[in-house]
Amino acid sequence: MPVPPATPPSAEPPAGPPPNPDPIATAACEAVGLPGDCEMLTVLRTFRDTVLARTEEGRQEIARYYATAPAIVAAIDARPDAQQVYRALMELVIAPATADILAGRHEEARQRYRQMLARLAAATDPWSALDGG
C-alpha cells in the first residue's frame, strides 16, 4: 500500500473531520455506547494526523494499520461475542492509549497500538490475542 506524501512539520493539520476513521477504535467505542465523534476518537485521530503522520515511520505505521484493521474488524464482527471483544479492546488498549496521548506519553500509546495490531493480525481468535494466548 503506498504511503501518503509527507506533510511538512510546519503545515497545519487539515480542517474538518479526519478522513479514514479508526476502524477498531470506532467499533470499540460503538460497543460501549460512545458516538463516532466522541472525545476519545477525536484524541486518537488528532494524534494520528498531527503526530504520527509527520514522520516516515509514523506514515508507515498508519498504512499498516489501515491495511490490516478492516480484516480484524470483520473477524471480530463475525463473532457472536463481538461486543465483548470490543469492550475488552477498549479497556485493555484503546482507553489506556488515549490516556497515554493525553498525558504526553506518545511512545507508550504507539507501542500499545503496535502490539494490539500485531497480536490481533496474527491471532485466529481475538480473545487469545487479548489474554496473551
Question: If you count them, how many residues does the chain have?
Answer: 133
Collect all residues with Cβ–Cβ distance below 8 Å to 23 and sequence separation of at least 6: 66, 69, 70, 72, 73
Question: How deeply is 59 buried, as exposed, middle or buried, from its count of CB atoms within 10 A (0-12, 13-18, 19+)?
Answer: middle
What global pTM score does this model have?
0.77
pLDDT tens readout for residues 37-78: 899 999 999 999 999 999 999 999 999 999 999 999 999 999
Question: In degrees, to the nearest 5, what angle opens at C-alpha 37 toward C-alphas 72 and 56?
Answer: 60
Domain ranges within the chain, ordered by starting residue: 23-130
Amino acid at 95: A
pLDDT of residue 53: 94
pLDDT in tens, 72-119: 999 999 999 999 999 999 999 999 999 999 999 999 999 998 998 888
Average pLDDT over residues 4-26: 54
